[in-house]
Each structure stands twice: as structure tokens, then as C-alpha cells.
């Protein structure tokens, strides 16, 4: 089969068929203000390789790489150290095609690491089954809501006010078509009164802990309130390293856990590709989206791995499939599995403690600055401080000095007046004491 | 002795008073291969004629089971949870799927008799 783009002749035929004069005629309804004209790009038709290299290198030099400055951004994406061994191992030829392994006879390596990955995710989240990953934490959250709607045959999803706004947006985009999505008001540094919102129509409550401000929540009362009304609790984790220190969502009564796995083995990657973790209870297995690898034996009785429960998936069940997720984040999930295997249970727990210690020391240093107060009384490796002036201005001022101070809450929740002076600050094992001292000093100057 | 009728979707339905029992035929069970899971409707669910009522999952495929006639489900076969293989072992007996209270007996009369169904399968 040829795989060629359309020829000019193909295009002409298609345009003639629908009665459009040319390609531009297809886009004439796009508002003028939204149109980026060709002249805006001002690109030469051809250019030599060296010239292109020089031009792009010049542009790339304008970026400030996270590793080159004191860097305290979190809010859903975390900078952690990735040992060189991870990058080396994920590039082994056995792993090079990480596409969905439909043929177990040629994909035992891939299937085995996916099985290990599922085991790790189930252990970390405290759940009974996990799938072979989804695209990222936000889409995993949306899939969790759809799953809860299938399980409970109810329409309403209640999102906690501490859920990352990008996750809320993903849920609203996906789940609004199949049901109703309501969000509790956002109150930084407080547990919201979500239990009171649960009624007999509620399919699920979606609670993030640590939340978008870094605050840790006790999921138990929410789980109890949800279960009393026949609703499910979906626990969301955006910083997977927190699972090395905090009690697992499963132990606190969650029915579904959706998490972002980027912080283990994967770089910031300018926002993606990331890896969605998804785990649930055995009794909901058949309603779980995504690929699942299972252990079995071959004709000779030797241990082997296969994709399992595929009959419910899209390539067999078409429009009746459990979900439209037909692939996973293979390479990111491989990096996750390898890094976590290298750390081991004890190493992972130590990494988590180190993160919390760094963040605690930083919070102490920042709250010594006059006019700066801590908003989140309990946190893991990320916390929110209230500044005496708008956080966006402070972050810009510090960026000019080569310090990336964190994520202004107002950038995530524009229009929320309460968020204006809030700064979300993350500290990981990558932040040195010098980094933290530099931030505290620069912050003191900026708010003085 | 209750009467039994068949559909071109390879379901059988037996009628005892106003309570009908629904399952899949031996032919269907053989085509599906080993059944590994059956998703059954909960009691009280109303289904229209030809509406989706259950899902049967085998090692080869997952397929919908349709209600041969409209009515209200009274129970699913509790034994299928632990032993879905009974659908293969005894499809037209112990491997029944669900019982329902039917609303219109004349619909039942319109379905195929055993004789007609056997001829139908013969022609496939």
C-alpha cells in the first residue's frame, strides 16, 4: 500500500465534489482575528542544513532549561533526577517498538515490562488491578469519570475544588457528553465540603491529593460519604513520588485511582508525552479502560504474557468497546518501570522522604520572608504561599534574575481573585540548598 | 412443560405463564467458543423487543444478547458469575441468562419454533 499525501489532482477532485473554489474557501468562516496569514511566518522556500541549524540553535538558546537555573515549578509536572541508566536501558533494541503488542509470540519483552508496570502501579496506589497505562494523568481522570458512569449507571461527576484546573478541563471536555460535571468551589488550603454535594444521582467524586496547591487531604471521610450514596471515589495524584510517603489512595477507600506518572523516570518534556496511571478494584475490572497484560502459560507450560480481556476493546468490539483508548504510553511507561525497579521499595521511599524534607526546609525559609505566609498546612513536596503582591509579577521579576520561582496560581485559574497573590512552589531532590537560599533571598527583595 | 421459541440472533426463550427465560442456543455457544464472562441485566430493567439485554464474552469475541420480546427483567442467572462455562456445557438448560416478565404474549408466538430454527441454522 502506498502511503503518499494527496496529489494536487486529488485535491482538485475533492474540492470540485464539494463545490469549493480552493482550500482557502474551506476556511472562510474562520474569524479574521484568528487567522494567521502566511506572511507571519516569513520562511524562505529553501535553506541549507547549517543555516537551519544556526537559526534553530539561536532560537533554542532563548529557552531557560529547567536544569540550568534554580527551578521550583510543579503544579502537575515535576523535575526529578533521572539516572543515566534509565535512558540507556529504554533504548535497548528489545524495547524499540513499544506499539501495542498484539502478537505475544514476538513481544514477550514488552509484555513482561507492561506486566511489571501494572504490578508497580497496583502496589503504589494500593489497588487490586492496574492497566498498561493511559496517555497522561488528566485523560486518565476523564476515563475514570466515564468508567464510574458505566459502573454506577449514573451521570453526575463532582470534582473537588483542589483538582488541577487542566484535569477539570479534560474531564469537562470528555465527560460532559455522557453526563453532568459539577465542580466544588476552590478554597486554597482547605478541605472542601464535597461530601455534602453527593446525592443519589452522583456517579463519582473526584478528589486530588496532594491537591493543586500541594495540600494533602484525608480521603477516608469522602470515601465513606460517597459509598453511603452508592457513588465511587476517584482519587487523583499528580505527583507520583508522593505515593512513596503518603498512605495509598486504595488504603483510604478509593475505588479508582488515576495518576500522572511523569515524575518517575520521565522528564518534563515540555508538557508531554507523559504517562497516565490507572488502577481500580478487581470487581470493576471489566469496566476498566485501556490495555491490560496478563500472565499465562504457553503450550509447554512455561510462564508467558499476553494482552488480556481484549475482546472488550475497540479492535474487536468496535463501537461497543469499553473505551476508545486503544494504546498506551509505552516508552514513558517503560522509563517509569525501569526507574522504579532501580530505586526499589526502600529507595523510592527514601526519595519521597528527601522530597518532603527539601520542601519543608524551603517552606520554612520562604515563610521567614516578611509578608509571606504558608497557605497549605500539610503538604508533600509542593506548597502554596501567599505573597504581599500579585504572584505573576513576582515570578516575572525573579525569572529576570534567573530564578524560576514556581507557578502563580492565577495562571492556572485566571479570574479567581483569591488566587492572585498565591504562588505554588515545588521542591524536589534536584533542588540544592543553594537553590533554596537563592529563592528565599530573591523573594525577600522582590516583595520588599 | 413450557414452550420454547428461537430467534435469528440465536437466542432461545421459554415461556412459563408470563415469565420467560432467555439464553443462547447450542449453535451460538459453539460459534462463540469458551465463554469467560456474562454481563447480566439487573432485576427491574425494562427492555424493548430486540433491545440489548446482556453481553456474553468468550475467548474470541464479546457479543450483545438481545431480548427476543420486550418486558421487565426479573433476575439474571446467579450461577453464571462463578461458572460462565456452563453456557458451553448446557446452553439450553443450566446456562440460561436471565428471566423476564413479558408484556405481550403474541410476540412470543411470532418467533421460530424448534423446527423452523433448525432449518434456519441448516441454511447458514
pLDDT tens, position by position, B38-97: 999 989 999 999 998 999 988 888 888 999 999 999 999 999 989 999 999 999 999 999
pLDDT over 90, % of chain A: 75
Mean pLDDT of A201-206: 97
Indicate whether A8 pLDDT > 80: yes
Residue B52: strand, helix, or coil: strand
Q: CB–CB of A311 and B57 under 8 A?
A: yes
Task: Note which residues in 60-79 of chain B have CB less than 8 A from chain A.
Answer: 60-62, 64
Contacts of A286 in chain B (CB under 8 A): 37, 39, 57
Provide the pLDDT for residue A1.
54
Residue A157: strand, helix, or coil: strand
Provide the pLDDT for residue A440.
97
Contacts of B64 in chain A (CB under 8 A): 320
pLDDT over 90, % of chain B: 73
A74 grid coordinates: 510543579
Mean pLDDT of A44-73: 93
Strands of B52-58's sheet in order across: B35-39, B52-58, B62-66
Residue of chain A nearest B60, judged by CA positions = A311
Determine which of A182-186, A296-300, A316-320, A341-345 has the lowest per-residue pLDDT on average. A316-320
Strands of B11-16's sheet in order across: B3-6, B11-16, B19-24, B98-102, B71-76, B46-47
Query: Residue A305 in contact with residue A115, Cβ under 8 Å?
Result: yes
Indicate whether A328 pLDDT > 90: no
Predicted complex ipTM: 0.70
Strand pairing report for A202-208 and A232-237: parallel
Which of A154, A284, A317 best tests the B interface by mutation, with the highest count of B CBs <10 A? A317
Query: Residue A426 in contact with residue A73, Cβ under 8 Å?
Result: yes
Q: CB–CB of B57 and A320 under 8 A?
A: no
Contacts of B58 in chain A (CB under 8 A): 311
Indicate whether B2 pLDDT > 90: no
Provide the pLDDT for residue B1.
52
Would you place residue A326 in the very low, low, confident or very high pLDDT band (cuts 50, 70, 90)?
low
Q: CB–CB of B39 and A311 under 8 A?
A: no
Q: Cα–Cα–Cα angle for A286, B52, A293, nearest 5°?
A: 20
What is the phi-psi region of residue B10: left when phi exceeds 0, alpha when psi lies from -120 to 50, beta otherwise? left
Indicate whether A329 pLDDT > 90: no
pLDDT in tens, A415-440: 888 999 999 999 999 999 999 999 99
Indicate whether A391 pLDDT > 80: yes
Q: What is the dihedral of CA B92, B95, B98, B104, to 10 degrees?
A: 0
Q: CB–CB of B62 and A320 under 8 A?
A: yes
Residue of chain B nearest A308, judged by CA positions = B59
pLDDT in tens, A116-140: 999 999 999 999 999 999 999 999 9
Residue of chain A nearest B38, judged by CA positions = A286
Contacts of B60 in chain A (CB under 8 A): 311
What is the phi-psi region of residue A269: left when phi exceeds 0, alpha when psi lies from -120 to 50, beta otherwise? left
Closest CB to B64: pick one of A311, A316, A320.
Answer: A320
A160/B104: higher pLDDT: A160
Instruction: Compute the nearest-CA separation of A157 from chain B (Å).
Output: 23
Provide the pLDDT for residue A109.
87
Alpha helices in A198-329 (DSSP H): 220-228, 314-317
Contacts of B57 in chain A (CB under 8 A): 286, 311-312
Query: Residue B58 in contact with residue B35, Cβ under 8 Å?
Result: yes
Provide the pLDDT for residue B113.
94
Instruction: Compute the nearest-CA separation of B85 from chain A (Å).
Output: 16
Q: CB–CB of B61 and A311 under 8 A?
A: yes
Contacts of A316 in chain B (CB under 8 A): 61-62
Contacts of B39 in chain A (CB under 8 A): 286
pLDDT over 70, % of chain A: 97
Contacts of B62 in chain A (CB under 8 A): 311-312, 316-317, 320
Which pTM value belongs to this model?
A: 0.86
Mean pLDDT of A394-410: 96
Task: Note which residues in 25-64 of chain B have CB less than 8 A from chain A.
Answer: 37, 39, 57-62, 64
Residue of chain B nearest A307, judged by CA positions = B59
Q: Does B81 touch chain A (CB under 8 A)?
A: no
Task: Note which residues in 295-354 of chain A have CB less than 8 A from chain B.
Answer: 311-312, 316-317, 320
Indicate whether A171 pLDDT > 80: yes
Residue of chain B nearest A318, judged by CA positions = B62
A33/A47: higher pLDDT: A47
Beta partners for A238?
none
A255/A23: higher pLDDT: A255
Provide the pLDDT for residue A409.
97
Provide the pLDDT for residue A327.
67
Closest CB to A316: pick one of B37, B39, B61.
Answer: B61
Closest CB to A286: pick one of B37, B59, B64.
Answer: B37
Task: Note which residues in 38-67 of chain A have CB less than 8 A from chain B.
Answer: none
Indicate whether A151 pLDDT > 90: yes
Indicate whether A250 pLDDT > 80: yes
Q: Does B82 touch chain A (CB under 8 A)?
A: no
Provide the pLDDT for residue A37.
74
Sole residue written with cell 508467558: A304
Would you place residue A2 in the very low, low, confident or very high pLDDT band (cuts 50, 70, 90)?
low
Residues sharing a CB contact under 8 Å with residue A446, sequence separation 6 or more, in sequence order:
A394, A397, A398
Task: Return d(Cα A297, Cα A426) in angstroms, integer.
Answer: 46
Closest CB to A312: pick one of B57, B59, B60.
Answer: B57
A70 grid coordinates: 534554580
Query: Residue A122 in contact with residue A259, Cβ under 8 Å?
Result: no
Amino acid at each position: 500500500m502506498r502511503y503518499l499525501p494527496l496529489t494536487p489532482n486529488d485535491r482538485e477532485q475533492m474540492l470540485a465534489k464539494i463545490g469549493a473554489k480552493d482550500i482557502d474557501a474551506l476556511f472562510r468562516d474562520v474569524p479574521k482575528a484568528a487567522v494567521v496569514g502566511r506572511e507571519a511566518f516569513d520562511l524562505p522556500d529553501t535553506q541549507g542544513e547549517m543555516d537551519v541549524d544556526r537559526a534553530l540553535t539561536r532560537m533554542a538558546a532563548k529557552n531557560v532549561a529547567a536544569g540550568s537555573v534554580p527551578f521550583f515549578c510543579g503544579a502537575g509536572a515535576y523535575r526529578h533526577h533521572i539516572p543515566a541508566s534509565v535512558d540507556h536501558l529504554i533504548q535497548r533494541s528489545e524495547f524499540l517498538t513499544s506499539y501495542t503488542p498484539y502478537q505475544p509470540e514476538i513481544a514477550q519483552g514488552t509484555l513482561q515490562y507492561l506486566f511489571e508496570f501494572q504490578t508497580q502501579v497496583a502496589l503504589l496506589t494500593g489497588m487490586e488491578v492496574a492497566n498498561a497505562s493511559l496517555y497522561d494523568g488528566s485523560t486518565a481522570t476523564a476515563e475514570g469519570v466515564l468508567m464510574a458512569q458505566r459502573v454506577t449507571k449514573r451521570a453526575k461527576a463532582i470534582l473537588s475544588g483542589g483538582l488541577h484546573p487542566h484535569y477539570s478541563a479534560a474531564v469537562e471536555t470528555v465527560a460532559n457528553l455522557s453526563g453532568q460535571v459539577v465542580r466544588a468551589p476552590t478554597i486554597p488550603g482547605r478541605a472542601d465540603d464535597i461530601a455534602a454535594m453527593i446525592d443519589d444521582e452522583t456517579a463519582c467524586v473526584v478528589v486530588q491529593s496532594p491537591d493543586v496547591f500541594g495540600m494533602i487531604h484525608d480521603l477516608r471521610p469522602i470515601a465513606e460519604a460517597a459509598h453511603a450514596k452508592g457513588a465511587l471515589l476517584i482519587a487523583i495524584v499528580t505527583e507520583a513520588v508522593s505515593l512513596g510517603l503518603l498512605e495509598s489512595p486504595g488504603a483510604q477507600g478509593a475505588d479508582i485511582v488515576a495518576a500522572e506518572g511523569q515524575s518517575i523516570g520521565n522528564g518534563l518534556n515540555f508538557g508531554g508525552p507523559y504517562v497516565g496511571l490507572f488502577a481500580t478494584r478487581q470487581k470493576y475490572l471489566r469496566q476498566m479502560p485501556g490495555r491490560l497484560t496478563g500472565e499465562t502459560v504457553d503450550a509447554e507450560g512455561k510462564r508467558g504474557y499476553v494482552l488480556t480481556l481484549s475482546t472488550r476493546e475497540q479492535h474487536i468490539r468496535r463501537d461497543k468497546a469499553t473505551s476508545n483508548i486503544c494504546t498506551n504510553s509505552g516508552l514513558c511507561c517503560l522509563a517509569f518501570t525501569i526507574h522504579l525497579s532501580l530505586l526499589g521499595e526502600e529507595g523510592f521511599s527514601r526519595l519521597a522522604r528527601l522530597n518532603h524534607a527539601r520542601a519543608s526546609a524551603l517552606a520554612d525559609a520562604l515563610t521567614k520572608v516578611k509578608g509571606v505566609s504558608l497557605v497549605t498546612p500539610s503538604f508533600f513536596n509542593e506548597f502554596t504561599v501567599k505573597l504581599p503582591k500579585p504572584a505573576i509579577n513576582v515570578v516575572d521579576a525573579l525569572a529576570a534574575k534567573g530564578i524560576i520561582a514556581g507557578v502563580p496560581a492565577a495562571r492556572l485559574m485566571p479570574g479567581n481573585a483569591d488566587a492572585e497573590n498565591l504562588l505554588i512552589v515545588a521542591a524536589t531532590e534536584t533542588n540544592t540548598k543553594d537553590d533554596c537560599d537563592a529563592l528565599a533571598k530573591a523573594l525577600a527583595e522582590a516583595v520588599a | 412443560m413450557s414452550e420454547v421459541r428461537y430467534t435469528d440472533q440465536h437466542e432461545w426463550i421459554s415461556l412459563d405463564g408470563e415469565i420467560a427465560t432467555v439464553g443462547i442456543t447450542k449453535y451460538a455457544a459453539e460459534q462463540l467458543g469458551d465463554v469467560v464472562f456474562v454481563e447480566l441485566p439487573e432485576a427491574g430493567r425494562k427492555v424493548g423487543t430486540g433491545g440489548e439485554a446482556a453481553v456474553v464474552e468468550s475467548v474470541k469475541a464479546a457479543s450483545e444478547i438481545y431480548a427476543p420480546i420486550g418486558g421487565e427483567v426479573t433476575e439474571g442467572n446467579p450461577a453464571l458469575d462463578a461458572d460462565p462455562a456452563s453456557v458451553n456445557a448446557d446452553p439450553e438448560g443450566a446456562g440460561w441468562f436471565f428471566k423476564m416478565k413479558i408484556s405481550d404474549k403474541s410476540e412470543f408466538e411470532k418467533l421460530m419454533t424448534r423446527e423452523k430454527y433448525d432449518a434456519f441454522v441448516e441454511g447458514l
